[in-house]
Every structure is written in C-alpha cells, then in structure tokens.
Structure 1
Amino acid sequence: MLTPTNVAWLVLGLTGVGVYLTMRAFNKKNPAPYPPGPLGWPLIGNIQAIPHIKPWFTFTEWGKKYGDIAHVEILGQHIMVVNSTRTAIEMLDKKSNVYSDRPVLPMAGELCGWKHALALLPYGDRFRQYRKNLHHIIGSRAALKIYHPIEEIETRRFLKRVFTKPDQLREHIRQTAGAIILRIAYGYEVKENNDPFIDLADRAVHQFSLSSTLGAFMVDDMPFLANVPEWFPGASFKRKAREWCETLNEMASAPYEFVKDQMAAGIAPNSFTSELLKGRILSAEEDHIVKWSALSLYSGGADTSVSSIYSIFLAMTLFPDVQKKAQDEIDAVVGSDRLPSFADRDSLPYLEALVKEVQRWNVVSAAGFSHRVTEDNIYNGFMLNDPLTYPNPSQFSPERFLANDGKKPETDPYTICFGFGRRICPGLHLADASVWLSAAMSLAVFDISKVVENGVEITPEIDPSSGTISHPKPFKCSIKPRSAKAVALIQQDVDY
C-alpha cells in the first residue's frame, strides 16, 4: 500500500553532470559531503541497488535508514532521492532556477523521442514556449471554464457507458479521458468504439511509462550502448525503441494533421491547436513547438486522470462509509433531480476532501520525475532534510483535509502530487476538474460496492502497477444505479 511518504518522493537524477561532479572530486575538495546512502562497488557504484520494479518501496526504506536525502552513484553519476516534502519545496520551488532541468534519458528521451515532449524537454527557451502555450489554454480554473461543457457532456456519456456495461469500467474511464483531451487539444470528437486516437495514446503513454522507469534499461546507465546496432547481442532494446518511437511520432503527427486538414476545409472547431495555428505562417521551429505542445497536452491528459478516477472507484469499493458521506452531501446540496456540475463545487467540501484523499492515497506518479541541477547547490550541508507525514497514512480519511473542532486541515496533497517549481504539471487544473466531476456525477447516481461471487464477498487488492505512471491493479466491483431517478438522469440525451 502506498503511504504519504511515497507522495513526497522525488528522484533528482543528476544524470549528465555526474561525470563533471566526479572529476571535481579528484581536482578540488568538495565543499560539502554527499548525503548518506547504500554502499556501492568501486567503479560501478550502486548500479545493483537501483530498483526496477516499484522503486518507491525501496526509496521509502532508504528514507527510514538514511534520512531526508539519500545518495547513490552509478558509473560516476550522482543521484539524490528526496524523502521530504519540505525539502523538495525548498529546493524545487524556491530554487527552481537551479532544479528545473531534466536529465538526458537515453531510452525514453533520445531513442524513443520523448525528449521533444514537455515531460522530458530540457529547460530552456523551447520549454518556456511550450508552457506559455499550455498556460494560456489550461493554466487556471478560470481559463478552463470554456471547456466545462465538454467535460460535463463527456462525463455524462461515461455514466451511460458504465450503466450499460459496468464490467468494463477501466475502458470507459480511458474512453472518457481521451474524449475530453482530444476535444480540447484538437477539436476531435472520438468514435464510440475503438477510436484510433485513443488506442494510439494508450499504446504510446504505456510505452513512455515503461521506457522512462528508473533503472529499466541499461542504456540509461551506459549511454554509449545507444550506438550499438540492433542486431548486436543484447540490443533488443534498440528494436523496441524504434517501434516505440514510431508510435510516438504517429501520436504527434496524426491528430495535428487532422486539425490542419479541418482548417484548410474551413470546418475546424476551436481547439488548443487550431488557436495556435490560426492566421499564422509558421517557421519550422514554430511548427515543431505547436505540434509537440499539443502532443504534450494530449499525452498528459490521456492517462494520468485515468489512474485517479479508477482509484476513486477502488476507494469507494473499499470504504463504503466514505461513499455514504459523500452521497449524503451531494443529496443535500444538489438533490436527486439533476446531476452535479462545476457550479456546485464550492458547496461540496466533503467531496472536495475525498478527491484530495484519493490523490494522496494512491499516487499516480509515486516515484516522481527526475530533475537535474544546472549548477552545484549545497542544501543543509549536502550537495544539493524534515519528513512530512500524515497521521495514520494507510487509513483512507477525507476528514484529514477538513477543518474540524479547531483542527487545521493536513497538508494539501495537490502541493505535492503535481510536481514542483517550474516543472509543476501544466495540466493540473484540467486533471483536477476531470477527476472531481467524475467523482461527483458517479456518486450522485451509482452505488459502488464489493462483488459477491458464489456467496463470497471479493475484496479488491491494493497493488499499484510499476512504471512512471502507476495504475491500481484491475479489480472487480459492483456498480448499480441508486434509484429510478438516477436511471433517468443517466439516460438523458446529451450532445455538443
């Protein structure tokens, strides 16, 4: 089970400056020692200590043993694992000018091509332009209001799909997330079944999660391996990278060309991409920025919210008392004659706390994304310290985020789970809105409970997947309408 400690983990990969730091150690006395960490071997360092599967569990143990910052070294590259939210904020937020770069990831970035997307883009002018484009469209709750009708319509369609085929919950969540993000990014309305752009995003984002996992590919530790031919023994990663690169390039190009064709025909609806292309003759660099800014929005929105919404259904299956409190609040504020909307959000504090608790309890990116420093920095006596924990972390308790009996709410997980500083997720408001609306509408009309098979109640297992983006393990649950009025709400016609 994930704990709040996992939320605070950030892997600060100093890949690319490691050799420089090592050379300094030979030529100049280090101004401060490295933090403690597991002992390594001569030359290869801690190459065997880096976990490939669910690394956050190992990082948690390192935190207990070594403190807020643990240090490992792999072939001269120094990696710091931060196990303190306060420390992460003080470094990544307050000194974001130093900590906002990304390490070079030979597999995911160079060979598979994700270095062109915002997630792995180096800090610099192109990075700032991507973020400027995204901030203009989805950078605030106010900016997102124009897309509220899209989210509400697609979420209502989600209710219909779940009502019709409740055993295909995860597929319905993915369909809805894809429909929302494709409409916003490209003005594209998805097909009801087997939509090619949703299938494409599913494959590409899964491949990104695999290719960017810490320690998954030896080429990330020994970059020279990127130059070996595909036929070379042990170079199967090269063939895999070529296939994954083709998937990514198709994901970037196909919907982008769709928008251009629609604009040429004069039938393109407003979207993130059409707004950036409208009335402009683009240089090659400008075309690249628009295309990959859109890809960054598309890829970022196609998978992360899927994990969070699936986690909501898991939590409601496991914690019926929490579900009942949320439903009672919705019934009191909204009633049973309509579905909740964004206009109700400020009047539903318990539901707001529930969504925050889901983000804390089952973290989408448990190990975080690597950051790279652009210059040496000494923090509390180390080269780069105060664990922030939640009481009873294994307990699912939305109440921890409510002010009760003079007690202050615990730390908002949104200050952690969406990243830090200049690398904070630009789509956090969109993800937050999608997850909140799914929770509100679903709980308004559905009762979610454990499945009973052959007289035996099946309790889902809490076992998140490994990878950069983590999903709950597939589980069974019973999803039934709460009443005849709920059925009527679900079956109402919806359209753009």
Structure 2
Amino acid sequence: MAITIAVFLSLLTAYVFWRLVSRKSLPPGPTGLPFIGNTLQMPKNREWVAYGQLAKKYGDVMHMTVLGKSIIVLTSREAILDLLEKKGTIYADRPIIPMGSEMIGYSRITILCPYGTRLKESRKLITNAVNARSAPDIHRVAEVKILRLLPKLLASPTDFKSHLRWFIAGVVLQITHGHDVQDLGTDPLCQLAGVVNAQFSAVLVPGKFLVDSFPLLRYIPAWFPGAGFKAFANDARRSLNRLLDEPYNQVKEQITRGTATESFTSKLIENNPNPSEEELLIYKMSSTQFYAAGADTTASSLESLFLILALYPEVQRKAQAELDALLGSTRLPKCSDRDKLPYVSGLVKEVHRWIPVFPLAIPHKVMQDDMYKGYHIPKGATVVANSWAVLHDPSIYPDPFEVKPERYLNQKIEDVNPDPVYFAFGYGRRYCPGRILADDMVFIVAATILATFNVTNARSLSGESILKDVQSDGGSINHPPPFTCTVTPRSADVAHFISNSLSSHN
C-alpha cells in the first residue's frame, strides 16, 4: 500500500508538472505519454549513440521528460559551449539523485556536491594542489612509480590491467595521503576505495533504483517487500563514511607521531589543526575526491591506450621512433619531455577522444529559467552533454572512428581537431579539477611503455581477434570491451635493464 500511494503521488506530481511545462516553448523532442513522459523511450545502454541518433531528427538541443522531470540533451559543440561554458554560472549545479545524493550522501563528494560555498572551497583546494606550479612535484612521484610498474609488467604481463590500477593508486595516494601502495589487492585503502567506486557506479546507472523515479519510496520501512534498496543505501553510506574518515584520520595520527610523509592531506591538517565541522568535511571530501574520482576513470584511459597500441601497430611504431630519436638507449622518458614528443602527445589526445571515459558528461542542473535559440530551458532541468557525439563528429574530427595522432600536428584550421581534453573532462564550473593529474599519468605511462615494450595481439576474452570498430561496454564510466593482449619487452637489452636496473625500485 505504501508503495502504491508513493507511486500514485509521484505520477500525479509528474503529470501536473508535465502539463505546466508543455505550455512553454520547450526544445523539440520525442512525444511522450501523459504522466510518464518519455520514460519508456529512454535508452538503456550506449545512451550516447542513441541520443546522437535522436538528435538527427530533433536537433542538437533536445527535450525529454521522465515522470515530469525535464531533461535537456546537448549534442553539438556549439550548444554545449554556449550553455555549459558561456552560461556556466547558471548551469553549475548537479541534479539530486535520491538514492545517491540523499540516501547515501554522495553529495558530500566534490563531483556530486551541489553548487555553493562547499563546492567552491573543495575545488579551490584541489586546483591549488594540482596545477602548473605543483606539476614538477607530481611528475617526480609519477616517474618514481613508473619505475616500479615496469618490473611488474615484465614479470606478469597478462596482469597488465591490475598493474595499471596499482600505478594509479600508487601515484594518487602518495600525493594525497603520503601512502605507499605495496600491493593493490591487500592494501586496505585501495580495497575500501574499490568498494565505494563500485557502489558509486551502480548508483549512476539510470533506472537501477526505483526510488530515483519515485523519491517518496525512501520513506517506506526497511522491512517492507521491495525495500532492499535501503539495505544497499545503508551499506554504501557506511563505506563512504569510512572512506571520508579513515584515510584522513590515518594521516592525522601520523602527524601526531611525527611519521607523516608530506602530502595534500598532511598540509591541510598542519595548516589548520583545529578545523570547524564544515572545514573538516571540505578537507575530507577534497582529499577523497582524488582517488575516488580518478581510480576507475584513469584506469579506463590506460586500458584504451593498450588497446590502441595493439590494434594500431603503425601508430605504435611511429610513436616508438619519435621516442628513440629523442632518448636513444640512454634513459627513460620524463614528463618534461612532452613538448618534444608531439606524436606521443597526439596519441594521448586520441586516448581521451576515441573511447571517452564519460561519453555523457556527468549531468548539470540549470539553476534558473533560461532561453536558448528561442527555446525555454526550465529551471531545475537536468542537462546532459553528449561529449561522445562531439568527439566523433566528422566535421570536427575527420575520420572520427580512426585513431590518428597526426591529426593534432600542424593544424591549419582552428576549429578542426581541437584538443579533446576540453570535451573529455567536463564543462564550465564542473570540469574535472584533477584533469592535469589524469592527463599527465596517461602521458608518462604511454611514453614509458612505448619506450620499453611492444603491445600486440588484441583479443577478446574468448580468444577472437578484435576489430578496429570497437564497441565500448558502456556503463556510468565507459571502458573498452574486455580484452587481452601480448606485452613483451622491445629487446633482450630492455628486458635485462628492467630486471637488473629497475627491480630495486619494486
């Protein structure tokens, strides 16, 4: 009975809202049904492709409704930049996800935090820690960790995905908490972050939890049939609380004992040993954001890198030739070499473009009524930017489904082949504040792997060859399809160098 009443009231509210907004000049979109709007027409997988197809009929600014909630889908570079960048002040909020934002509390993490003072302070702390001035310190950490990655790849190349995740964890947790990750599978902070990431990804899957469509369901008793989502919410909230508290408290205890390594978190604590309750939350959410937001996303980019190298041997050879010309056989690449490696830098840009981690940018929410090209954008509407559509628009990126690092070399037309970083890491006042760190990690891995290994023979898990027309697996965080590949040292001398010269770093 409680569920029935909640559903009825939600539908009634949705219908009233739908009747009100339908009288205004909304952007075009598929015709919906009374009460439920376009709920039954919403794509269930590879939404970015489906939205791109719909945009061919309805235009690059499209309106849909789900149970009375307006959704605006932006599918062109012009529309995305006009609204989310040029009008960023009113498109800076995040929609409320009943399950994630309210029941679990992900609104306490920077990525979903509502727009306001708390968000601004958190982003300020992160951008002050990850910027051009701090880049040399970040690069030193990454360059030390990469020396430990190479022996792992040499010893067990089939586990390359696990090794890449170890590298990400090692760099980020060293920077944020002064924490040295020895083994990814047994490290308590990494295990806890993995649990939170899995729960967070589940919450972002559209339609997974009925309470997101019918928010009144959050008030039904936990014992009521169909209320299993409440147990999930409780578990996820406990995991989130632990991730916010335990790493921070660990650094605080180390400072007290005099054993702390300098890090983002140690500086926060030392600069303000007795923060207010609000300051403490901002400190915890900022330090947590680095790894919670970057672990799975950067891992996806590095998996795409390995898949590209295996599928495009000619790209691999050109990149290796550029590295060999610069480095010879005397040293490994450094982050400071990037300006002298334009082709490798172009490869990194293609990694971000080819299979974007967020093909649909994390949704924005418009904070006041707006007009765009004669159309009404209602206050509170969820605004979805189809980044994948822009990154695969042939008028912007010719031959968009091909990996071509040279597309960024000697650009003659300003609007053709722009840097994909401006579309792959979010927009306006919600762009990813850690994008410099993520981009640098992809570069140092790409350059170092190319200098030391060959990556070949991409195959599906069933052993079949993978074609270049790769269909990514979708999900809230996009990954390449599951695959294996062969990772071998470029020569016996390289293998000897890794085994003898670098093994002491492992």
In the superposition, the TM-score normalised over structure 2's length comes to 0.88
Separation in 2, partners of 1:87, 1:345: 32
Name the residue aligned to 1:328. 321
2:418: which partner in 1? 411
Aligned partner of 2:174 in structure 1 is: 183
Map Cα deviations across residues 224-272 of structure 1 (whole Å, 9 max, x no partner).
1111222222222222222222222222222111101101101111111
Matched, 1:338 2:346: no
2:438 corresponds to 1:446 = no
Q: Does residue 302 of structure 2 align to residue 294 of structure 1?
A: no
Q: Deviations over 1:420-449 (max 9, x none)?
A: 111010000000000000000001000110
Alignment counterpart, residue 226 of structure 1, candidates 197, 218, 233: 218
Q: Which residue of 2 aligns with 1:161?
A: 152
- Give the equivalent residue in structure 2 for 1:11: none
Q: Counterpart of 2:427 in structure 1: which amino acid?
A: F
Equivalent pair of 1:337/1:485 in contact (CA under 8 Å): no
Match of 1:34 among 26, 30, 35: 26
CA distance in 1 between partners of 2:108 and 2:257 (Å): 29
**Residue 478 of structure 2 aligns with which residue?**
470
The Cα shift of 1:98 comes to 0.4
Q: List aligned pairs for 1:361-400, cutoff 5 A.
A: 361-384=354-377, 388=390, 389=393, 390-400=397-407
Q: Does 1:283 align with 2:276?
A: yes
Which of 87-96 and 463-472 deviates more?
463-472
Q: Is the 8 A contact 2:14 2:36 kept in 1?
A: no
Match of 1:171 in 2: 162
Cα distance in 2 between the residues matched to 1:39 and 1:75: 13
Q: Distance in 1 between matches of 2:271 and 2:401?
A: 53
Q: Deviations over 1:373-401 (max 9, x none)?
A: 11001111112399852222111111221
Deviations 1:188-241 (A, max 9, x none): 111225212112222211221110123332211211111122222222222222
Q: Does 1:81 align with 2:88?
A: no
Which amino acid in the other structure matches residue 478 of structure 2? S
Query: Taking structure 1 as reference, are residues 483 and 471 closer, same or farther at Cα in structure 2, changes over 3 Å only?
Result: same
Amino acid at match of 2:472: P
Which residue is equivalent to 2:5? none
Alpha-carbon displacement from aligned partner over 1:277-329 (angstroms, at most 9, x marks no partner):
10421111111111111111221222211100110000111111111110010
Q: Is the 8 A contact 2:169 2:295 kept in 1?
A: yes
Give the Cα–Cα distance (whole angstroms) in 2 for the partners of residues 146 and 429 of structure 1. 13
Distance 1:407 1:120, change over 3 A: closer
Give secondary structure in 1 for the equivalent of 2:365. Answer: coil
Give distance in 2, aligned partners of 1:109 and 1:258: 26
Cα 1:21/1:101, change in 2 over 3 Å: farther
* In the alignment, structure 1 residue 132 sits paired with structure 2 residue 124: yes
Q: Deviations over 1:466-485 (max 9, x none)?
A: 32211112211010000133
Aligned to 2:4: none
Give the 3-state SS of the residue equivalent to 2:338 in structure 1: helix
Superposition CA RMSD, Å = 2.5
Taking the aligned partners of 1:452 and 1:377, their CA distance within structure 2 comes to 49
Structure 2 CA distance for aligned equivalents of residues 282 and 440 of structure 1: 42
Q: How many residues align?
A: 474
Q: Does the alignment pair 1:484 with 2:492?
A: yes
Report the counterpart of residue 349 of structure 1 in structure 2.
342
1:9 equivalent in structure 2: none
Q: What residue identity is the alignment partner of 1:465?
A: D
Query: Aligned partners of 1:361 and 1:469: how far apart in 2?
Result: 14
Which ranges of structure 2 fall in alignment gaps of 5 or more residues?
1-9, 378-384
The answer for the alignment partner of 2:44 in structure 1 is 52
Aligned match of 1:152: 143
CA deviation string 1:315-369 (max 9, x = no partner): 1111111111100100011112211001211000000001101111011011211
Per-residue deviation, residues 52-94 of structure 1 (Å, max 9, x unmatched): 3332222122122211011111121100111012211111111
Between 128-137 and 466-475, the greater mean CA deviation after superposition: 466-475
2:95 aligned partner, one-letter code: P
Q: CA deviation digits over 1:125-179, x for unaligned, max 9?
A: 00000011101101x2332211211111112211111111111111111111111
Contact 1:51-1:215 at 8 Å conserved across structures: no
SS in 2 for 1:96: coil
Measure, in 1, the Cα distance between the counterparts of 2:173 and 2:91: 32
**Offset at residue 489 of structure 1 (A):** 3.8
CA contact (8 A) 2:18 2:35 kept: no
One-letter amino acid of the counterpart of residue 254, structure 1: E
Partner Cα distance (1:286, 1:407) in 2: 47
Whether contact under 8 Å (1:100, 1:372) holds in the other structure is yes
The 3-state SS of whatever aligns with 2:376 is coil
Please state whether the residue corresponding to 2:63 is helix, strand or coil. Answer: strand
Compute the displacement of 1:116 (Å): 0.3
Give SS of 2:364's match: coil
What residue in structure 2 maps to residue 273 of structure 1? Answer: 265
Q: 1:226 to 1:466 in 2, by over 3 A?
A: farther
Cα 1:110–1:308 change in 2 (3 A) is same
Give 2:188's match in structure 1, choosing from 192, 196, 211.
196
Given that 1:36 and 1:70 are in contact with CA atoms closer than 8 Å, whether structure 2 keeps it comes out as: yes
Matches within 5 A, 1:259-270: 259-270=251-262
Determine helix, strand or coil for the equivalent of 1:72. Answer: strand
* Cα displacement (A) at 1:407: 5.5
Q: Secondary structure at the match of 1:101?
A: coil
8 Å CA contact 2:456, 2:486 repeated in 1: yes
Paired residue secondary structure (2:62): strand
- Helix, strand or coil: the match of 2:484? coil
